[in-house]
Amino acid sequence: MGTDLVIEGDPLGEAFDFTLRHDGGTVPATFWNARTPRGGGTPLTLIQHGGPFHARHDRAAWLARAVVSRTDSAVLMIDGPIHGRRRDDDPAPEKMLGAFKAHWQASPGIDDMVADWSRALDAVIDQGWADPARIAWLGVSMGTAYGVPLCATDPRFAAAVFGMWGTDWGHEDIMLAHARRIRSPVLFQIKTEDAFFSNAGQRKIFDALGSLDKALKTYEGGHDLTAPGQLDDILGFINRALGGNETAA
């Protein structure tokens, strides 16, 4: 058993792709360099893109650039279970969202995604690209669906941002069981007009979180990150968790 890492692109550029090949398959990943990389001393934020998108989508790139430009952190992403480089086509976001919802409700592949994220994080640490003691998670929507189980399983996270995901799409018992195991500080965001997840379903996940340091913030608007102050709160939280110096937008 083993894992091979294949770099695709310029590792000294703004961002580059890499693929992990292991006995069970492949993990397509994207790494965004910090503004001032410090090798093994570089803080790292793991970002899971949303259900309609993929790791190289403009939405994902926008969020990665915001984290890089306003904190001292590098960024690691991997494609979701049926997303991006894991498939041969590139469906429109509306079609991709429907495909992901069906996938999640039928067989979400939580254990596989947790294993893939752990492999990708191990590879980044082994390559000396980031500091194993300064790691944060940023995953709202689908990023909460897989981020809660990951952060419950992997003790390396200094803090996590969750939200915009509830129990409405099923697998409630699994999600709540993982949430109870979370111990790192958490920021959880809810949107008042979320078209996909009820406030009550989102509150169930927040209430179940086992962390003694957790904050719930509610914002006006729908299922996105555009509410005034919403992204600022995320970046400030990550910055404080990783001990960086946030730069003005």
Residue 25's closest CA among 92, 112, 96? 112
* pLDDT in the model for residue 106: 97
Q: Which domain holds residue 142?
A: 3-242
* pLDDT in the model for residue 185: 98
User: Residue 35 domain-assigned?
Assistant: yes
* pLDDT in the model for residue 129: 97
Alpha carbons 25 and 75: distance in angstroms, whole number: 23
User: Residue 31 domain-assigned?
Assistant: yes
User: Residue 192 domain-assigned?
Assistant: yes
Structurally, the chain folds into a number of domains equal to: 1
Phi/psi for 4 (5° steps) reads -110, 140
* pLDDT in the model for residue 170: 96
User: Residue 247 domain-assigned?
Assistant: no
Q: Which long-range contacts (CB under 8 A, 24 or more apart) does 129-132 make?
A: 129/31, 129/37, 129/39, 129/40, 129/42, 129/44, 129/74, 130/40, 130/42, 130/43, 130/44, 130/74, 130/76, 131/38, 131/40, 131/41, 131/42, 131/43, 131/44, 132/40, 132/156
User: Residue 87 domain-assigned?
Assistant: yes
Per-residue pLDDT 10s for the chain (249 aa) are: 467 999 999 999 999 999 999 988 999 999 999 999 999 999 999 999 999 999 999 999 999 999 999 998 999 999 999 999 999 999 999 999 999 999 999 999 999 999 999 999 999 999 999 999 999 999 999 999 999 999 999 999 999 999 999 999 999 999 999 999 999 999 999 999 999 999 999 999 999 999 999 999 999 999 999 999 999 999 999 999 998 755 534
* pLDDT in the model for residue 249: 40
User: Residue 145 domain-assigned?
Assistant: yes
* pLDDT in the model for residue 245: 58
**Location of structure tokens 């195991």:** 181
User: Residue 112 domain-assigned?
Assistant: yes
- CATH code of the domain containing 142: 3.40.50.1820
Alpha carbon of 236 to those of 46, 59, 75, 182: distances in Å?
16, 20, 16, 21
Question: Structure pTM?
Answer: 0.95
User: Residue 248 domain-assigned?
Assistant: no
